[in-house]
Structure 1
Amino acid sequence: MPEFLSDPSILIPFLLIGFAAQLVDGALGMAYGQISSTLLINMGVPPAAASAGVHTAETFTTAVSGISHVAHRNVDWRLFARIVIPGMIGGILGAYVLTQIHADTARPIVLSYLTLLGLYLFYRGVMHRHTEKRPRVVEPLGLVGGFLDAGGGGGWGAIVTSNLLVQGGNPRKTIGTVNTAEFFLTVTISATFILAMGWEAFTVATVGLLIGGVLAAPFGAMIAKRVNPDLLLTFVGAIVTLTSGYALYRALA
């Protein structure tokens, strides 16, 4: 019998992490993996186990989050159609490359780029300088975002959402669309992992993250719908800067 069935209280720390990470991810379109993985590792969970738990739980939380964004009409279906297939292809390629070479050499470069991008988005949000227009560069973003998410252990939302916003995408629609597409990306990346590990993937951390994330998903979509676009942009810039900057510090330390 799993330990959490005899003592459900051990789920609480992981449930809270999953709830907080998904609330941020659902509202801002990014950072579920970064937040939950960092907190799990700081709690003493081995990096491999943390990654396994996050990716398995994310398969379910992104499904609920996507449904919530659809219900709140946060999805631009034209943008979704352009981004989801390239994202899945990039995810497959990233998973394959990860088994062939080590991806850490490119990680500091990507993190430096994201940190600067986050500062720029924060500036535009604070100064109210976001002019909305339909993004032109979409498919390559999906491909690169999916590749980095699989090969580097995260980054779909940070890469895709932030770059679409820089191009002038509507914050609410961009966040909702990227979140909804992430479900298909996560399923693609996680399929082999779940098949390989079976029920062993469902650790205490995984179950807690899953429950907390599913509970938080509807609230994230609600926040994205109701918050002012400039404020959303400011928060996106702040979260990209903080998570990428911290990850860059750890990568170079």
Structure 2
Amino acid sequence: MKRLIVLAIIGLCAQLVDGSLGMAYGVTSTSLLLMFGIAPAAASASVHLAEVVTTAASGVSHIRFGNVDKGIVKKLILPGSIGAFLGALFLGSIPGHIIKPYVSVFLLGLGVFVIYRFLFNRKVVLEQNQKNINKRFFIPLGFIAGFFDATGGGGWGPIATPVLLSKKNIETRKVIGSVDTSEFAIAVCSSLGFFISLGWSEINFVWVFALMIGGIIAAPIAAWLVKIIPSHLLGVLVGGMIILTNVRTLLLTFSLPSNATVVIYSVLIGLWIIGIIFVALNLKKQKTQYEKA
């Protein structure tokens, strides 16, 4: 019973982060299940099955708070669903652990770029000034993000969110809301692929239910936070999460000593906090100047 409560809390926290920053539900939940000794394929299958419900709740919440660009969702769903289905279908034979570090290096660079952009670029992207991005851009993005999401137990948000945030013509909250909303289709297709390749016998439905409950509770709270948090502060929060998520992958790949890992995490988290404070102070300063004017 205690384990189920812990899983529900983890599901709540993971969805709170995922729904407000556009990533981390799969990574957090899968890591926990692997820690409990579940096989990688079964862990990924359980998480994706839980995400069918949590992403639906998250999508509905983001739509209600106006955080979704329907055009982006439509363009991401088809290639993402195909990638997720194929990734789930062939999980056992795909050397995802070999490719993943290279993807993490690329995403780590994007994370640094995202933080730099929102720390030092004061120009706020307005919805009415957005330009349409070529549809071809979304095909490889959706496919790759969906593929790695299925093979790694998490990857849709960590890949799709930073790439879209690197585009200056998309509003931050619309990126997060659209990625989270489109993830419902990816979760459904991943679950279908896992059902074909593994069968339902490999999935612990009690654990899935616990993850679902936590995620459902957190979904509307996360969507509300995306609505009220200023775009620059939101961008720095997302950028920091991108960096931490991909540094974790690289540290696991190179198997560094625990002391070195603690130092690296401490430095990164410290710099992240400084960046958040810097943006918050600037936003407060701008608000004061606006009120005086």
The code of the aligned residue for 1:145 comes to A
Q: Name the CA distance, whole Å, in 2 between partners of 1:244 and 1:47.
A: 22
User: What's the CA shift for 1:55?
Assistant: 1.7
Supply the AA of the counterpart residue of 1:73: G
Q: Are the equivalent residues in 2 in contact too, given 1:34–1:154 (CA < 8 A)?
A: yes
Structure 1: unaligned runs, 5 residues or longer? 1-7
1:167-201 deviation line (CA, Å, top 9, x unaligned): 12211111111111100011001123246443762
Q: Deviations over 1:96-147 (max 9, x none)?
A: 4434432222111011111121122122222235663444432321122112
Which of 237, 240, 248 is the aligned partner of 2:239?
237
SS of residue matched to 1:140: helix
The residue that corresponds to 2:181 in the other structure is 180
Percentage of matched positions with identical amino acids: 41
**Residue 60 of structure 1: aligned partner:** 53
- SS of alignment partner, residue 23 of structure 2: coil
Distance 2:107 2:195 in 1: 30
Moved more, 70-79 or 119-128: 119-128
Structure 1 range deviating more: 211-220 or 94-103: 94-103
TM-score for both structures, normalised by structure 1: 0.88
Shift of 1:14: 0.7
Structure 2 residue aligned with 1:115: 108
Report the Cα offset of residue 244 of structure 1: 1.0
Contact 1:108 1:252 (8 Å CA) reproduced: no
Q: Closer, same or farther in 2 for the Cα pair 1:149/1:176, shift >3 Å? A: same
1:87 aligned onto 2:88: no
Instruction: Give the Cα separation in 1 of the matches to 2:8 and 2:210.
Output: 4
Instruction: State how 1:145-184 maps to structure 2 within 5 Å.
Output: 145-168=145-168, 169-184=170-185
Distance 2:37 2:7 in 1: 11
CA contact (8 A) 1:130 1:230 kept: no
Report the CA distance shift for 1:139/1:219 in structure 2 as closer, same or farther (over 3 A): same
Q: 1:46: which partner in 2?
A: 38
Contact 1:138–1:164 (8 Å) recurs in 2: no
CA distance in 2, matches of 1:163, 1:81: 17
Count of aligned pairs between the two proteins: 245
Aligned partners of 1:150, 1:36: CA distance in 2, in Å? 13
Larger relative CO (CA 8 A, sep 6+): 1 or 2?
1
CA distance in 2, matches of 1:83, 1:192: 18
8 Å CA contact 2:44, 2:151 repeated in 1? no
Asked if 2 retains the 8 angstrom alpha-carbon contact of 1:92 and 1:189, the reply is yes
Larger gyration radius, structure 1 or structure 2: 2
Q: Are the equivalent residues in 1 in contact too, given 2:30–2:153 (CA < 8 A)?
A: no
- Segments of structure 2 that go 5 or more residues without pairing to the other structure are 256-293
TM score, norm. by length of structure 2: 0.77
Asked if the contact 2:88–2:191 (Cα under 8 Å) also holds between the matched residues in 1, the reply is no
Compared CA separation, residues 46 and 108, structure 1 to 2 (3 A): same
CA gap of 1:177–1:147, structure 2 versus 1, over 3 A, is same
- Whether contact under 8 Å (1:18, 1:212) holds in the other structure is yes
Partner of 1:206: 208
1:142 maps to which residue? 142
Counterpart for residue 70 of structure 2: 77
Residue 25 of structure 1 aligns with which residue? Answer: 18
